Amino acid sequence: MAISSSTTSGEAPREEQNRLALLDELRQAERRAVSSRVASVIAHLIGTPLHVIAGRASLIRGAPADGTVSENARRIEEQVERLAARIRALIDYLTLPEPPPKREAVAAVATSALELYSAIGKERQVSFELVGEYPDDAGVDGTAALVVLTSLLSLATRVAPAGAVCRLSVALPEDGRVAFSLDVPGLEPPSGRIDSLEPPERPERAPSEVLQVLSVSSAIARRSGGRLEVASETPGAATIRYLAARLD
């Protein structure tokens, strides 16, 4: 099924309001996911060094050479504990509770995602096509799936060259998931892991924006029981595969 990248000039106001409300809901869900992901990265990057510092300070204080060393060690421990407490408070503040899954039909999710970004695609001279066969009763967590798909479609409109066609295919693999595969011309997959927001250790071919979008999308997919994969069989193009948990 092909999806037009144009909008209807006589679209009813109610339909437009529903579309804007859906976009707002998706952006809120995306912000929750980003906040939680940043909190996780902070905990990973800072938690281990703080633990090592505290351990070293304890060793110094346990075998002091003089009173000055003991006092310095005490101050190190005091500052580490203070920093650790503030980080824990920040993590608690940023880690928001996940809303319950909201089941939506696969066809409705895929169609809504493409309709939301068809106008942007037309403006950037990128078109979308939806293909696939699946039963009407197949369902996924609609909010999570829409956040991931719209993020990936947004990325596609920015990296695909003018005149490109990005194909979104939907299939039901035997593992009980729903597989959304987006072919993106012009996408250079990052060489590092997409399940991390940490800066790569070496220069990337792909812009940092690509890695950021894929990393956040990967985190959202995992939190809803899915995963994200990126593969490239031909130079200058890649396929992003989003495996979403099926809800029946």
Consecutive H or E run containing 178? strand 177-185
The whole-number average pLDDT for the span 105-132 is 90
Query: Whose structure tokens read 């880690």?
Result: 95
What pLDDT does residue 79 have? Answer: 76
What are the tens digits of pLDDT across the range 20-70? 557 656 765 766 677 677 777 777 767 777 777 777 777 776 765 666 677
**Is 201's pLDDT higher than 70?**
no
The whole-number average pLDDT for the span 155-180 is 92
Distances 68 to 59, 64, 71, 227 between C-alpha atoms, Å = 15, 8, 5, 53
Cβ–Cβ under 8 Å, residues 183 and 167: yes
For the packed helices 13-62 and 67-94, what is the interaxial angle rounded to 10 degrees? 160
Q: What is the DSSP letter of 191?
A: S
Name the most confidently modeled range: 3-17, 19-33, 184-198: 184-198
For the chain, first and last CA: distance in Å?
24
What are the tens digits of pLDDT across the range 225-238? 999 999 998 888 99
Higher pLDDT, 82 or 223: 223
Higher pLDDT, 197 or 46: 46
**Is 5's pLDDT higher than 50?**
no
Q: Give dist(CA 117, CA 123) in Å, integer.
A: 10
**Is 140's pLDDT higher than 60?**
yes
Cβ–Cβ under 8 Å, residues 5 and 166: no
